[in-house]
Amino acid sequence: MKLLEGGRAGQIWRDGNTVIRPSGAWTPTAHRFLRHLRSRGFSGAPDPIEITGNQEVVSYVTGRVCEDLSDQFVGSERMLLSAANLLREFHSASQGFLESDREVQTWMLPPQEPYEIVCHGDYAPYNVATADHAAVGIIDFDTAHPAPRLWDLAYSVYRWAPLSDPANPDVTFSLDDQLRRAEIFCTAYGATMEDRLQLPEMICRRLQALVDFMLASAAAGDATFTEDVNAGDALLNLRDIDYVRRHRDRLLKTLC
Ligand SMILES: Nc1ncnc2c1ncn2[C@@H]1O[C@H](COP(=O)(O)OP(=O)(O)O)[C@@H](O)[C@H]1O
Ligand SMILES: [Mg+2]
């Protein structure tokens, strides 16, 4: 067994073609959802294998997960286009699960009305597998939850543009580049004019929901979220809400 890097330190293992990760109350629902994706012909997500005690086993998604948008391949336009296309394909495959699943569903994140599809919930470079300079797979379905498609698109644009203040550590794109990248992502995804008009506000709502969840989980004693809050993640998201609000008009002008 080999310890994998990139997520929670010391908790995610690779064993041959499988990955072993901590499970949660939502894991049985997530596995049914992963099975649904397979049944819809979507092959860019892990196969659910089993849940044992407090761990889940899923198939290893081939490719290189790279969090860093400053990496020339991950930050390339080709990657951006393929990431948006993959999100669209995933959303198409996600359709139908909420209507067909007959069991009690438990999600880590609170569902958001209207319940159009199951969103991934954290569609960012650090949860996407890449190969030949293109996004080919999606991992880490812990944050999946029912919500409108736009809820997922908003967070994805936030992460892939990224719409984060260039003064923050690790942000290498200028505001102009970020706006251009947001537009490229929306176009490749197939965003409608209605989607685009709602996007800035939806990003702020999505980030506020994330911050609220992070703070509540940390206050309830969750170790991972406590670590995230102590590392300044919630503060950074709050600063990014301000950043998106400050540049809302330019973002809308670029998108519409
Ligand atoms: N199904 C998978 N296929 C391939 N690699 C995976 C898979 N799940 C996790 N990984 C690897 O483990 C690392 C951490 O995974 P992740 O599940 O996203 O952790 P966390 O839940 O802490 O965010 C990823 O960067 C990736 O390299
Ligand atoms: Mg992850």
pLDDT in tens, 192-223: 999 999 999 999 999 999 999 999 999 999 99
Å from CA of 20 to ligand 1 middle: 9
**Pair type for strands 145-147 and 117-119:** antiparallel
Domain limits for position 249: 148-255
Nearest protein Cα to ligand 1, atom 23: 7
Is the residue at 236 inside a domain? yes
Which of 59, 80, 104 is the endpoint of a domain? Answer: 59
Q: SS3 breakdown of the chain: % helix, strand, coil, rounded to 5?
A: 50, 15, 40
Q: Is the CB of 4 under 6 A from ligand 1?
A: yes
Q: Which ligand is nearest to the CA of 123?
A: 2
What pLDDT score was predicted for residue 9? 84
Total domains, the chain:
2
Is the residue at 99 inside a domain? no
Is the residue at 90 inside a domain? no
Å from CA of 250 to ligand 2 middle: 31
Is the residue at 184 inside a domain? yes
Is the residue at 222 inside a domain? yes
Is the residue at 243 inside a domain? yes
Cα–Cα distance measured from residue 205 to residue 85, given in angstroms and rounded to the nearest whole number: 24
Single-letter residue type at 91: H
Which of 11, 29, 59 is the endpoint of a domain? Answer: 59
Is the residue at 197 inside a domain? yes
> What would the mean pLDDT of 6-25 be, rounded to a whole number?
93
Q: Which of 6-15, 24-33, 95-104, 151-160 has the lowest mean pLDDT?
A: 6-15
Q: What is the largest CA-CA distance in the chain?
A: 51
Instruction: Give per-residue pLDDT as tens, 55-84.
Output: 999 999 999 998 888 888 899 999 999 999
Which of 10, 27, 59 is the endpoint of a domain? Answer: 59
Is the residue at 135 inside a domain? no
Q: Edge-to-edge strands of the sheet including 128-131?
A: 64-65, 128-131, 134-138
Cα–Cα distance measured from residue 136 to residue 102, given in angstroms and rounded to the nearest whole number: 30
Cα–Cα distance measured from residue 98 to residue 105, given in angstroms and rounded to the nearest whole number: 9
